Amino acid sequence: MSTVARVAGPGVAAENPQRLRARRARKRQNLRAALLFLSPWILGFLVFTAWPVIYSAYLSFTDYDVINDPTFVGLENYQRMMEDPKVRLSLWNTFVYTVLHVPLYTIFSLGLALLLNQAGRASGFFRTAFFLPKMTPPVAVGVLLLLLFNGQDGLINEVLGWFGIDGPNWTTDQNWIKPGLVLMSLWAVGSSVIILLAALRNVPAELYDSARVDGASFWQQTRRITVPMISGAIFFVVIVNTIASFQIFTEAYTAFFGSGNTTYSNDAALFYVIYLFQQGFEALNMGYASALAWLLFVIILIFTAIQLAVSRRYVYYEGEGR
Amino acid sequence: MTVTHRAQDGPVPPLGRTTGRRRRRLLLTSVVALSTALVAACAQGSGGGDAAEDVSFGSDTELSGNLSVMGFGAGDEIAQVRMEAAQKALGDGVDVSLIEGDLDIQAFLSAVAADDPPELISANRDQIGTFASRGAIIPLDDCLDAEGVDTSVFQEAALAQVTFNDQVYGIPEFNQVQLTQANGDLLAAAGLTIEDVNGSSWERIAAANQALAKSEGGKVSVIGYDSKLPEFLPLWAKANGADLLSQDGRTAQLDDPAVVEALEFAVGIYDAQGGFPAVKAFRDSADFFGENNQFATSTLGAMPMEQWYINVVNDVSPDAPVVYDSFRGRDGEPLAFSSGSAWAIPKGSANPQAACTFAATMVATDSWMAAAQARADIRAEEGKPFTMSPTANTEADEQIRAMVDLDEPKFGPGLEAMYAGLEKTFTLPANPADAEFKTAWQDGVNRVLNGQQEPAEALAQAQEEAQAALDEAWADWDARG
């Protein structure tokens, strides 16, 4: 019988019923243990993520002022969104910020990572130094922006003045508010630098040796070896920062709508999530704010899908066999 | 029957598959049940329920339980002394706790929606109309009757700001008014006096601004006159004889020619100094609350400003050459836009009787006088003149005024100007769309300040936005009956 079973191979039907029972019992036990250990996260996910997401979808079809019961209004909020000029303005501001921020942030991160990669033993110190600003609370960064970029006596304009450049009013001139915010965002470049540095360290040294033998310059090595080899990490930095850019809130809100400016604001700093927050928590239009949130979700989804599609052509993953 | 029974319990493979399916079904059912329970729980929490509450206030009721107060801090003697009086009125049975800092609207409304609000809140008076219209707070007429509070002691404008649909929803506490504050040395050097910048003549303000302002190569070094936009548009409009909102709180009047003219003038003051962006950037770089403030460093000629800044200057730079006068309308009469805080009892408050007693005691004349005396004693010890922000209680203010040394050369005129302004205050009436209304006119002013629109165009757009918000909010209110 046992011989037959062995000949039959791994077929379940041929297995001893007792061993089968025992195996299933073990599986059940493992599943229970896994679920038990995962349950805090699962519960947290259901209550604090899944449920709010589902509920906000429902709220987007209602008129809801946070206090009274929601009233179903069908597609009214979505229709209102199409006609609301501030939605267009805030989307445009957010798009411009993203277009300026993502490439500059990525190039700056990559540049610093390349420098750090050459730093040898001092690399540890610089890694920490570059990462430290990332630990600054975003609210503090917003306040810092107002100080550093003050058009009259800010540090940035003072430095520009050394080179004979008369700096603009970064925090009050609507043409310079977004560029100022983009420059300030480079303050927190540390985390991306660390990710790119880790990728750089994984590029096989033999590739550079071969290139050097063939007479490739540093620039040629960077363009032909480094960038393609770390394209996966670059893509990660790009996609994460694109999503973060679409959700820019704290620094801009603190600097241009928060305690520092309770009445003064500038349309140039009205980003999409700020407008969403104003509708939800200041005007108490939570139904409309929920619809705005879902529009942002769809926009981010589309941009991410496009980036993923483009990445198939340009991003190289080791072991992918391409 | 037997087969079915065996099939349920048996370990053979086909039956095992059936069990797995059942388990999956059970799991699915559990997830659905859990989700439904969550939906139900949250839906219950978010539902507002009845706006009207059957609360009975009576001063002979034995008070007990907890009293959590949101939006109020006991950081100085004015608060501490009155809190002691309030605690005494409540008796030992009530445990008072404070959730300090400005009222967090998001936290407050979430608590109301979850039927777990604080027992009492201290809010800005301009928020009361919105809270009342949404049913987040309850009317206090019975509370005031039960505590024997004579509402005629409250400043008229302050009381109007917390009265919505003919019911009182808030108990006014502090009061803020504006007065003209200027650098006497700069004025004298330019051959000017405080009368040139007190608002009674816009032509003289414009001329004084030209004489006082200094800038070089786009860099401002002295602000001549700061018209304090966007926040003081209501003040400039009223000075020109216009209100931003009709008395019934239903009609926006932002495109009134007198409002447009007021905005043109106030923005023109900045334009004459190189534009608002430059002036604001320079203003932002000032040490507003420190010893190197704009008056102490002679980098500001004059501005309309709330009365509390007298105390700041008094504390940090007592030698600054500041001179004061009332802010005046174009008719030469003192004028002030009244704002401040008020006590309100949230819908669902677990201890409304105690909340009512606490709030009534905090604004009672005796409590204010005890607090004023404590402040006067401390100031005397420090060798500084006694100053105190006005309250919304006219009886208390009258008595406190008698304690103030109005002949004190430095701050006496400021306090005199403050009391003159207090007698001529105005407010925007309570309405259910306060936040949207404010956003509309402030955005309009900001568009002008940022050079995006001309005043008439900006205020026409603001009018449209504000009226749409008011119409919608009033329609909701009327529909709720």
Minimum distance, in Å, between the CA of residue A257 and any CA atom of chain B: 11
Task: Note whether B443 and B223 are within 8 A (CB).
Answer: no
Q: Enter the pTM of the model.
A: 0.80
pLDDT above 50: residue A109: yes
Give ∠ CA A118-A119-A124 in degrees, rounded to 5.
Answer: 130
A140 lies in which domain range?
82-314
Residue with tokens 């429902």: A58
Q: Is residue A48 part of a domain?
A: no
Measured between CA atoms, the residue of chain A closest to residue B432 is A283
- Which ranges of chain B have pLDDT less than 70? 1-54, 58-61, 481
d(CA A282, CA A244): 23
Of the pLDDT bands very low, low, confident and very high (cuts 50, 70, 90), residue A125 is confident
Residue A19 lies in a domain: no
CB B180 within 8 A of CB B325: yes
- Asked whether the beta carbons of A102 and A241 are under 8 A apart, the reply is yes
Residue of A nearest to B453 (CA): A267
Closest CA of chain A from B423, distance in Å: 26
Q: Answer whether B38 sits within 8 Å of A152, measured CB to CB.
A: no
Shortest distance between the Cα of B433 and any Cα of chain A, in A, equals 8
Beta bridge partners of B66: B95
Segment A183-240, tens digit of pLDDT? 999 988 989 999 999 999 989 999 999 999 999 998 899 889 999 999 999 999 999 9
Residue A74 Ramachandran class (φ > 0 left, ψ -120 to 50 alpha, else beta): left
- How many beta-carbon pairs under 8 angstroms link A with B? 115
Give the residues across from B225 on adjacent strands. B302
CATH number of the B178-337+432-476 domain? 3.40.190.10
Partner-chain contact B16 A24, CB within 8 Å: yes
Whether B452 and A263 lie within 8 Å, measured CB to CB: no
Residues of B in contact with A165 (CB under 8 A): none
- Domain B65-174+340-375, architecture per CATH: 3-Layer(aba) Sandwich (3.40)
| Strand bridging mode A62-63 / A71-72 | antiparallel
Judge whether residue A177 has pLDDT over 80. Answer: yes
ipTM of the complex: 0.75
Contact B437, B479 (CB under 8 A): no
Residue A26 lies in a domain: no
- pLDDT tens track for A50-75: 999 999 999 999 999 888 889 999 99
Distance of CA B305 to the CA centre of its chain: 16
Instruction: For residue A27, tell me if it sits in a domain.
Output: no
How does pLDDT run across A260-273, given as a tens digit for each residue?
A: 556 778 889 999 99
pLDDT at A78 over 70: yes
State the first-to-last Cα distance of chain A, in angstroms, to the nearest integer. Answer: 49
CATH 3.40.190.10 domain range(s) in chain B: 65-174+340-375, 178-337+432-476
Has residue A300 got a pLDDT over 90?
yes
Q: What is the pLDDT of residue A284?
A: 86
* Rounded to 5°, angle at Cα B87 from B94 and B380: 160
For residue B151, give the nearest of B125, B124, B127, B169 by alpha carbon.
B169
Mean pLDDT of all residues in A14-36 = 89
Q: What is the mean pLDDT of residues A16-22?
A: 87
The Cα–Cα gap between B476 and B472 comes to 6
SS3 at position A112? helix
Give chain A's domain count: 1
CATH number (domain holding residue A259):
1.10.3720.10
| Chain B residues touching residue A166 (CB < 8 angstroms) | 217-218
Residues from chain B contacting residue A68 (CB–CB below 8 Å): 47-48, 51, 134-135, 480
Q: Is A20 on the interface with B (CB under 8 A)?
A: yes
Cis upstream peptide for B230 (omega within 30°): yes
User: Which residue in A260, A267, A278 is closest to B447 by CB distance?
Assistant: A267
Residue A136 falls within a domain, yes or no? yes
Locate the chain A residue with the closest alpha carbon to B43. Answer: A69
Task: From A110, A104, A238, select the one nearest A183 (Cα to Cα).
Answer: A104
